[in-house]
Amino acid sequence: MNIRHLNVRHLLVLALAVLSFASCTQKKFHVSGTIADAKDSLLYFENMGLNGPVTVDSVKLGADGSFSFDEKAPKNPEFYRLRIADQLINVAIDSTEDVKIKASYPTMSYKYDVQGSEECSKIKELTLMQMNLQNQINAIANNPNISYDQEGPQVQAVLNNYKNKVKTDYIFKAPMKAYSYFALFQTVVIGGRPVNIFDAHSSKADVQVYAAVATSWDTYYPKSERGENLHNIALAGMRDLRIVQAQQAQSIPADKVSASGIIDIALPDREGNVQKLSSLKGKVVLLDFHVYASKNSTQRIMWLRDLYNKYHAQGLEIYQVSLDPDEHFWKEQVAALPWICVRDEDGSAQAASAYNVQQVPTFFLIDKNNVLQKRDVQIKNLDAEIKALL
């Protein structure tokens, strides 16, 4: 009887020891710290998956703002974020990091200290750089001394400077790092619309950046979901660029291109009448892509009115494509405009995609033979270009 009791006791001790060992050997990462001035706020810890954020855990913050999240270590680099309302702190996890973060609300998105992770420190650097880039773009857009024909090239210049720095100092130095992956998906807002800073669908150089990171991830994290996603983006970008090149060479299908070479647009105006871009042959056309709900729409429309009043009698026509999602709002805005105003229905932006429009406002110049001549970023003096085509 005593022997039986002893064996049972030993078995229980052994079982508890096995469970304890298994628990200790399960690899985890830790994210902890304090967020001051956020008493009673709900802090979310979210996984930033390929399909969007998914809540992993959450905590209601006390007076001291302390928090702690422990999760199973990922097999490959993974991305998370701390969030209170619209304030975010991005976190990259390689394996078993112990990341410590100190911040205050509501400035936590750009004023926080991070320790324990080089990846998270680099992501903070990239985030602050991205915010500075957005401020530069906003300053250009809001500067009354910068005309619309100057705005596009100036915005493109600051974007190019940013991309060159990020490529040189971050991505090409360590393409296998999580922060290099993170940099590929940064965005800015231009003309009221989010735009990818690195765009594999419109730039050969950007495709090469995606491909470099994809190749590196294949080596370090073979068959990872994010690595395969990078490959798919790079391949899709190469395909799209080939299509654009074919369009520019006027080798796309005849049903998509008029006999003279432009990509035709046929969209309804305010009255529901379909207006075809190709029907304006014989006129110089300014093809404009616009969002009336954007911040500086009124100023841009005044600028277009000036152009129209100066050159319409000489043969200039404006064909304006709205990308506004609200049809009623758009109709009210264009009611008194003298040029052709159409709308890409339901915000599908098929016309914008056909012309590879990555940001709005954007315009193109088409000559009297329906041949696309230049887009805004190629034009230094719009008046001179219009006069030369007239």
pLDDT of residue 100: 97
Confidence of residue 34 (pLDDT cuts 50, 70, 90): very high
Mean pLDDT for the stretch of residues 227-256 = 65
Determine whether 349 is exposed, middle or buried from the number of CB atoms within 10 Å of its CB (0-12, 13-18, 19+): middle
Q: Which residues contact 379 (CB under 8 A, 6 or more apart)?
A: 149, 365, 385
> Cα separation of 94 and 385, whole Å?
53
Judged by average pLDDT, the poorest of 17-31, 161-175, 310-324 is 17-31
pLDDT at 379 over 80: yes
More confident residue, 319 or 249: 319
Q: Is 50 exceeded by the pLDDT of residue 260?
A: no
The alpha carbons of the chain give a radius of gyration, in whole angstroms, of 28
Q: Are 110 and 90 in contact (CB under 8 A)?
A: no
Instruction: Determine if the peptide bond prior to 175 is cis (ω within 30°).
Output: no
How large is the average pLDDT for residues 84-101? 92
Nearest to 99 by CA among 51, 54, 45: 45
The band of 347, judged by pLDDT with boundaries at 50, 70 and 90, is very low
How big is the chain, counted in residues? 390
Q: Residue 252 belongs to what H/E stretch?
A: none
pLDDT digits (tens, 9 = 90+) for 114-139: 999 999 999 999 999 999 999 999 99
Determine the pLDDT at residue 205.
83
Q: Which of 337, 335, 321, 324 is nearest to 288 (CA)?
A: 321
Residue at 69: amino acid letter: F
Is residue 52 predicted with pLDDT exceeding 70?
Answer: yes
Q: Residue 331: CB partners within 8 Å, gap ≥ 6?
A: 270
Q: What is the mean pLDDT of residues 13-30?
A: 59
The answer to whether the peptide bond before residue 194 is cis (omega within 30 degrees of 0) is no
- Coil vs helix vs strand at 35: strand
Q: Highest mean pLDDT: which of 104-108, 143-147, 196-200, 379-383?
A: 104-108
Determine the pLDDT at residue 193.
81
Q: Residue 71's Cα: distance from chain center in Å? A: 29
Contacts of 276 (CB under 8 A, 6+ apart): 264, 265, 266
Cβ atoms of residues 289 and 323 within 8 Å:
yes
Provide the 10 A C-beta neighbour count for residue 113.
11
The one-character DSSP state at 345 is G
In the three-class reduction of DSSP (H, G, I as helix; E, B as strand; rest coil), residue 172 is classed as coil
Q: What is the mean pLDDT of the chain?
A: 85
For residue 55, give the DSSP letter.
E
**Does pLDDT of 35 surpass 90?**
yes
Q: Grade residue 243 by pLDDT with cuts at 50, 70 and 90.
A: low
